[in-house]
Chains A and B, each alone.
Chain A
Amino acid sequence: MTTAGMRVWSLAQNLTANLVGNETAWLVGGQKTTTRTVTTTMTRLFSSSAVADADKTEEEMPEHMMSTIVNGKEIWVPKGSSVMQACDAAGVDVPRFCYHPKLSVAGNCRMCLVDLENHMGMSPKPVASCAMPLAPGTTIHTDTDRVKKAREGVMEFLLLNHPLDCPICDQGGECDLQDQAMHYGSDRGRFVGTKRSVVDKNLGPLVKTVMTRCIHCTRCVRYATEVAGVQDLGVTGRGGASEIGTYVEKLMESEMSGNVIDLCPVGALTSKPYAFTARQWELKPTESIDVSDALGCNIRVDTRGTEVLRILPRNNEGVNEDWISDKARFQYDGLQRQRLNVPMVKENGALKPAKWEEALFAIKEAVGGLKGDEMKAIAGKLVDCESLVALKDLMNRLGCENLSVESVTAGMEADVRSSYVFNSSISGIDEADCIVLVGSNPRVEAPVLNARIRKANYEAVQVGVVGAPVDLTFQTHHLGDSVAALKDLAKGKGSAFAETFKKAKRPLVIVGPGVLQREDRDVLLSEIHNFVDKAGVVTDEWNGFNVLHDAAARVGALDVGFVPSLGEKPSDKPAKFVYLLGADDFDAKEIPEGAFVVYQGHHGDAGANVADVILPGAAFTEKSGLYVNSEGRVQMARRAVSTLAESRDDWKIVRAVSEVLGATLPYDTIQGVRERLVEIAPHFGKVDSAPEKPVWLNGQYFGAHAQKVKGKKALDKVPLQTPITNFYMTDVISRASRAMAKATQARQAASTAKQ
């Protein structure tokens, strides 16, 4: 492609590399000396809020900072920091079990004891640094004999009742207790009695418990209460008899329950599907992107050989913080079932394995002589942007404009980006002061986003719901079933919530897939937009009009323009040739009787069942692909394992088809495809960076839109609701997954038990 495009791409890559490179330095920060200590996992976990810039020591101290001395080194930290945050800023490791930057401070493990000193002298006894606010004029010591002895003593107490079963424990090798016992513990214990044993709790099919290993840090209890918003976990009993559990045996009913596995510093809570499969040092980690929802959570895919063995979250404060949903975490076993691994061609009504050549020439035969308007392409939920743009270019070259993403974009326009992305950005939820959800249930559409809204709600931001009433794990105001409720809201009268909304300086409106996937979408969007205009949701500094999608490929498809080109209309003729690019949730009406169907994808599901030719593609763990999340952030999923048998990267398949059909695409490397993406939409060059705020053109856009829907009426009788009926099974991967099937069963059993 063009050299300009190339330059943008390489610039973007440099930018990404720099960002990643600087991150470490930024997190350590705050040291006066130029040498930096190596960060450990513990330090990296730590929030960046308490960290000052290392290079500013010569300048005058800002108003909000204070200075302290840690082991003889002077550092600056923000006022209100804890002693532990000061130690972290200084790069001094303080051992800990119960403290977690994303949770409230419990101070019950006593592992983080340090010595403090002020003008009165040394503190009379060691102090728990996580719960101790840093006072002016305090000096911190972590290297005294007393601290060493205190750590040894606490560790000895913790190990009294901890079983010595590391060889058969799944946490072995990545256990905080194991590591810290090695670093800070004594070289021998004095305990000769009988160890306490605790009955295991059943938290459902995803989280395995071995409660005897529990050290009662209460991270899981605090996580469930504060982040996941379910009051399922708690502590029963006192002293030596205290146990963590669910009070009565019940399922942990959270869509984010798997995060307690990461939080647990010992092996008390581990992954059930991953149990006894591998050790952490056998695994190859690959940093990737989750495609189970439109949030684009940052994940780490751990593989051994050709198998994906587990998926863990990566920290990204702008997207998923430290969390991922259970679907993102546990659906990976679906990658090993129902796979398409060889091309297939239909012979005498039955699909037979074939060679690539035969499959491609079968397509050529079917397409031969067809006109562009007799063809059609539908893209699915998990498709990467490279294959989307390749297929779009191919279909356009064949003269076809019937492009759509299954269920949502039929007739949806992609001209104005701000009309279909999460404009305020996901971290914008933290700044919002009033939130209205329209036709959305983020608890199932994007559980991690829901946790973020919950966090805002925790800080007294009120949340209103328009649509069917839903349990979002926090208190909401149900405003009405249809968009008519928005009219009252715009007036700012009628309810306490309406008045709050009117006063709000940064109000947020989240339009969910419940609106986008309805027949009367255009009318609804037009009404919502009227409301947004009247209620002042969009100002010069603040854009609170947000669209939340329910599939990873939606925004990417609209960004590359996987819709009829500008000024073109989809033809009314029934298609004779249908190209399904990973599409499995299409409406049966969209495939006319007798049409020749090509299915390109990685799982045998609805699409493969109707196909005449199957082209085996790669799942998101098997290819390098760009995905755009709901807020418009471009992120790259990286190849963690190789493709199966005969299957190939999706864009390469489209490229091969184009050559056979005589409409050869002008790119034959992945860089070439990405240059083409940058040519269409420059933000594709800025991989992994925070999205720029899209230009707000919706005034003009919806002006024209209102003309289009004039005279049409909304189907007011049908309440707005999310299209997702089962959170655990939304796409081909999660439908093929056993873990998700078990989770579905457990959830159904729990809901019948309640009735």
Chain B
Amino acid sequence: MKKVFEAAGSILDGKIAEAKYIHPYMFKQAEFVGEDYNGNKYYEIKKGVLYGRHRWFVPPDIFEYSPASVPPEWHGWLHNINNDAPSRVKFLEQSYKTPATTYKYLGYQPKGSYRQKMEFGRKRNWKKYEAWTPPAPAKA
């Protein structure tokens, strides 16, 4: 029963149908290149297909997939930015491991906000003046 639904889903979703059925079976040359940590499978045909349609991926779940699940290194291969797939060459340490900045206090704060850092690294406070602090005593 599941297979029927899957086949129906694939046919309704033309992109998946093309990736899953047309490419592998119409063109026997289709080559399995690799799989990323999200379970996406990547394929390539080197001849006999329009340039631009020669690399594709098949998600693990055809009912819930997202192009955003393609990691940057696979994205580079998929869109012909890189010649080599990450499964064939070793990529450097991922450069995108930065903390998210769009939530909590790290995000943008408008000018005048209490959390906005003022110039000279001074935060806004309720003091109306800064008192002088005497210098440290000279060591005798």
Residues of A participating in the B interface, judged by any CB pair closer than 8 Å: 276, 305-307, 335-342, 344, 348-351, 603-604, 608-609, 614, 644-645, 738
Contacts and interface: CB of A to CB of B under 8 A. Distances in A.
A504 B112 CA distance: 59
20 contacts: A276-B111, A306-B129, A307-B128, A336-B129, A336-B130, A337-B130, A338-B132, A339-B130, A339-B132, A340-B131, A341-B129, A341-B131, A348-B137, A350-B134, A350-B137, A608-B132, A608-B134, A609-B135, A644-B129, A645-B131
A738 B133 CA distance: 18
Contact of B112 (A276, A335, A348): A276
B37 interface: no
B81 interface: no
A336 B132 contact: no
Contacts of B136: 350
A276 B118 CA distance: 14
Interface of B: 111-112, 119-120, 128-138, 140
A340 B120 CA distance: 22
Contacts of B134: 344, 350-351, 604, 608-609, 614
B129 to A, nearest CB: 4
Contacts of B131: 339-342, 645
B87 to A, nearest CB: 50
B40 to A, nearest CB: 46
A262 B7 CA distance: 77
A209 B130 CA distance: 30
Nearest to B120: A738
A341 B129 CA distance: 10
A744 to B, nearest CB: 15
Contacts of A609: 134-135
Contacts of B130: 336-339
A604 B130 CA distance: 11
A351 B131 CA distance: 14
B132 A604 contact: yes
Nearest to A305: B128
Contact of A349 (B111, B119, B137): B137
The 3 nearest A-B residue pairs measured at CB = A604-B132, A351-B134, A349-B137
Contacts of B111: 276
Contacts of A276: 111-112
Contacts of A338: 130, 132
A464 B4 CA distance: 103
B129 A337 contact: yes
A350 B129 CA distance: 23
B128 A306 contact: yes
Nearest to B140: A349
Nearest to B127: A336
A216 to B, nearest CB: 29
A307 to B, nearest CB: 5
A420 to B, nearest CB: 33
A604 B134 CA distance: 8
Nearest to A275: B111
B78 to A, nearest CB: 41
Nearest to A277: B112
B136 to A, nearest CB: 7
Contact of A340 (B132, B135, B140): B132
Given A276-B111, A349-B140, A350-B137, A603 B129 contact: no
Contacts of A604: 132-134
Contacts of B133: 604
Given A276-B111, A336-B128, A344-B134, 8 more contacts: A276-B112, A336-B130, A338-B130, A341-B131, A341-B132, A350-B137, A351-B134, A738-B120
Nearest to B135: A609
Nearest to B129: A336
Nearest to B119: A738
A169 B120 CA distance: 25
B129 A339 contact: yes
Q: Which of B119, B131, B136, B140 has the most CB of A within 10 A?
A: B131
A742 B138 CA distance: 31
Contacts of A339: 129-132
A715 B132 CA distance: 41
Contacts of A340: 131-132
A324 B119 CA distance: 27
Contacts of B137: 348-350
Nearest to A335: B129
A644 B130 CA distance: 11
A609 B140 CA distance: 17
A145 B129 CA distance: 56
A563 B13 CA distance: 99
A336 B133 CA distance: 14
A276 B135 CA distance: 35
A294 B82 CA distance: 72
A342 B131 CA distance: 9
A747 to B, nearest CB: 19
Contacts of B138: 349
A350 B135 CA distance: 8
A305 B126 CA distance: 12
Nearest to B112: A276
Nearest to B131: A341
B118 to A, nearest CB: 11
A109 B129 CA distance: 44
A604 B133 CA distance: 8
Contacts of A645: 131
A609 B137 CA distance: 10
A609 B133 CA distance: 10
A749 B140 CA distance: 41
Contacts of A344: 134
Contacts of B135: 609
Contacts of A351: 134
A740 to B, nearest CB: 14
Q: Which of A306, A604, A608, A645 has the most CB of B within 10 A?
A: A604
Q: Which of B111, B120, B129, B138 has the most CB of A within 10 A?
A: B129
A305 B128 CA distance: 10
B86 to A, nearest CB: 45
Contacts of A337: 129-130
B26 to A, nearest CB: 54
A23 to B, nearest CB: 35
A276 B113 CA distance: 13
Contacts of B129: 306, 335-337, 339, 341, 644
A17 B133 CA distance: 43
Contacts of A644: 129
Contacts of B112: 276
B110 to A, nearest CB: 11
Contacts of A350: 134, 136-137
A341 B133 CA distance: 10
A337 to B, nearest CB: 5
Given A276-B112, A350-B137, A603 B132 contact: yes
A611 to B, nearest CB: 9
A644 B128 CA distance: 10
Nearest to A336: B129
B97 to A, nearest CB: 38
A272 to B, nearest CB: 12
A276 B140 CA distance: 49
A539 to B, nearest CB: 52
Nearest to A342: B131
Nearest to B130: A337
A644 B133 CA distance: 15
Contacts of A307: 128
Nearest to A609: B135
